[in-house]
């Protein structure tokens, strides 16, 4: 059922005008790979590598599937506290980000931040929604979409770890929640999402705070 959901979004958003349908198959395979390992945060870096596209195109593709009405991703926002090497992860909501003057507090070290202060430090996970997880577990996905032995994604993930290339950007990204056993290269910066949204003829994501963030980041 999940593949049918992905295909319906692909068609509704007319993504065939920008993205080859093979990327849709790669997306499903990455979801399948991640879910079998108990992971809900998908890596645009891995997707860019397996799909043979630039990072920003991979992020844009993920953004189209993050529509709050019909998408399969929830965007999860966070910062890492930089007070005295605290590094506590502080999760944020869209409501918190709608006002630059909102004050955020680190529960670990008690440091306070205004949204305006940390706007350019915010990172984002593309996290599979509850609905997407339910659809994934339902029967009805065409078997050929579940596993294609000739797919780039399948080939790369069948290789031993020491044969796989590592993204040069991996050192700049954070790990997912430890309880889910995620590796790094899962998150992207909010500024990347803002820039992609700004460059699109029609904004991919119509969130009030994204426009506010664009105004702030670009001065």
pLDDT at 15: 96
Whether the CB-CB separation of 9 and 67 falls below 8 Å is answered with yes
Dig out the tokens for 39 from the structure: 């992971």
Q: Is the pLDDT of residue 160 over 50?
A: no
pLDDT at 180: 41
pLDDT at 7: 96
Whether the CB-CB separation of 137 and 5 falls below 8 Å is answered with no
For 21-68, the pLDDT digits (tens) are: 999 999 999 999 999 999 999 999 999 999 999 999 999 999 999 998
Average pLDDT over residues 207-214: 65
CA distance 196 to 158: 32
Residue 149's pLDDT band (cuts 50, 70, 90): very low
pLDDT at 168: 30
Average pLDDT over residues 119-132: 94
Q: Check residues 169 and 31 and name the one with the higher pLDDT.
A: 31
Which ranges constitute the DSSP H helices of the chain? 2-12, 22-35, 44-51, 55-64, 94-97, 115-118, 130-137, 143-146, 152-158, 190-199, 208-217
Measured torsion, CA atoms of residues 137, 138, 142, 146, in degrees rounded to the nearest 10: 0
pLDDT at 147: 47
User: pTM score, two decimals?
Assistant: 0.78
For 64-118, the pLDDT digits (tens) are: 999 989 999 999 999 999 887 788 999 998 888 888 888 999 999 999 999 888 8
Q: Is the pLDDT of residue 200 over 80?
A: yes
């Amino acid at each position: 059922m999940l593949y049918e959901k992905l295909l319906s979004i692909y068609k509704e958003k007319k993504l065939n005008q920008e993205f080859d349908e093979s990327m849709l198959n790669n997306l499903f395979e990455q979801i399948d790979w991640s879910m079998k390992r108990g992971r809900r945060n998908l890596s645009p870096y891995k997707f860019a590598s397996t799909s043979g596209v630039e990072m920003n195109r991979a992020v844009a593709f993920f953004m189209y599937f993050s529509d709050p009405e019909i998408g399969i991703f929830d965007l999860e926002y966070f910062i890492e506290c930089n007070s005295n090497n605290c590094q506590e992860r502080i999760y944020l909501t869209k409501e918190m980000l709608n006002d630059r003057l909102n004050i955020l507090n680190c529960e670990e070290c008690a440091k306070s931040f205004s949204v305006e202060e940390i706007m350019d430090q915010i990172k984002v996970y593309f996290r599979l929604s509850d609905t997407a997880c339910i659809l994934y577990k339902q029967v009805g996905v065409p078997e050929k979409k579940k596993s294609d032995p000739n797919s780039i994604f399948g080939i790369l993930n069948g290789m031993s770890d020491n044969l796989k290339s590592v993204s040069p950007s991996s050192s700049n990204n954070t790990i997912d929640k430890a309880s889910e056993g995620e590796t790094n290269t899962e998150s992207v910066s909010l500024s990347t999402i803002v820039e992609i949204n700004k460059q699109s003829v029609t904004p991919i994501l119509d969130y009030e705070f994204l426009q506010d963030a664009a105004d702030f980041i670009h001065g």
